[in-house]
Structure 1
Amino acid sequence: MEKTLFEKYGGFSTVSKIVMDLYDTLLDDDDVGPFFDDVDMPRLIDHQTKFVASLMGGPASFTDTHIQRAHHNLDIAPVHFDRLKEIIEGTLEKFEVEREDIETVLGAFESRRKLLLGD
């Protein structure tokens, strides 16, 4: 049986490192950083670790409704989504995730674009 990306890259141990590094970059970014002002970061990082794990085929899952509810009050524009996607890509590259696997994760993220932008 073929391993999921989650299993291939070390499970929650690696995913949590990826997410921590991702947020180090996100918080310093002029475009997307402000979205995280006044956010309970430990709680968010826990949720995002589970979300990234789910993008990689891990055990966590998020419904479309859950994703929409979590972002409904944010004014996320396509430029913000695209910038986040770039940061995710760079972070995965930094962790030496293979190009094909990065494309898989980015595709899973992209498939949720409408949930965050509402268009």
Structure 2
Amino acid sequence: MEKALFDKYGGFSTVSKIVLSLYDRLLEDDDVGPFFDDVDMPRLIDHQTKFVSSLMGGPASFTDDHIERAHSHMDIDHLHFDKLKAIVSETLADFDVAEDDIKTVLSAFEDRRSLLVEKPNVN
């Protein structure tokens, strides 16, 4: 049986370092950084560590409904989502995550694009 990416790369310890590095990059980005103004960053980083862990086959899990509700008030477009994926890819590569494993994680992000970008109109 093949190890989950979560275990292969060191579990929560490594994932938390990846997420911290990811948010350092996201906050510096002119396109996506403004989404994090006035955000409780420690809380967000905790949630994102669990989310990324779940994408890598770890024990945490997030429902699509939870993800959609958390982003429903944001005006996220395809440019923002593509920028996020690029930054995730760069960050994972800096932590020596194998190319195929990066593609697996990016695919899991891509599977959730419609939850963030193509939100239904709310009246």
| TM-score after normalising by structure 1 | 0.98
Q: Give the letter for the 1:54 counterpart.
A: S
Partner of 1:25: 25
Shift of 1:118: 2.1
Distance 1:113 1:24 in 2: 22
Shift of 1:2: 1.4
C-alpha deviations, 1:69-100, integer Å up to 9, x for none?
00000000000000000000000000010000
Partner of 1:73: 73
Partner of 1:57: 57
Shift of 1:33: 0.1
Distance 1:68 1:89 in 2: 22
Does the alignment pair 1:16 with 2:16? Answer: yes
Q: Give the letter for the 1:82 counterpart.
A: D
> Unaligned 5+ residue runs, structure 2?
none
Distance 2:66 2:8 in 1: 27
CA RMSD in angstroms, aligned pairs only: 0.7
- Which aligned pairs between 1:70-109 and structure 2 lie closer than 5 A? 70-109=70-109
Shift of 1:103: 0.2
Distance 2:95 2:77 in 1: 28
| TM-score after normalising by structure 2 | 0.95
Shift of 1:102: 0.2
Structure 2 residue matching 1:50: 3-state secondary structure: helix
Task: Tell me the matched-pair count.
Answer: 119
Runs of 4+ in 1 over 2 A off after TM superposition: none
Q: Give the letter for the 2:95 counterpart.
A: F
Distance 2:19 2:43 in 1: 12
Partner of 1:43: 43
Partner of 1:117: 117
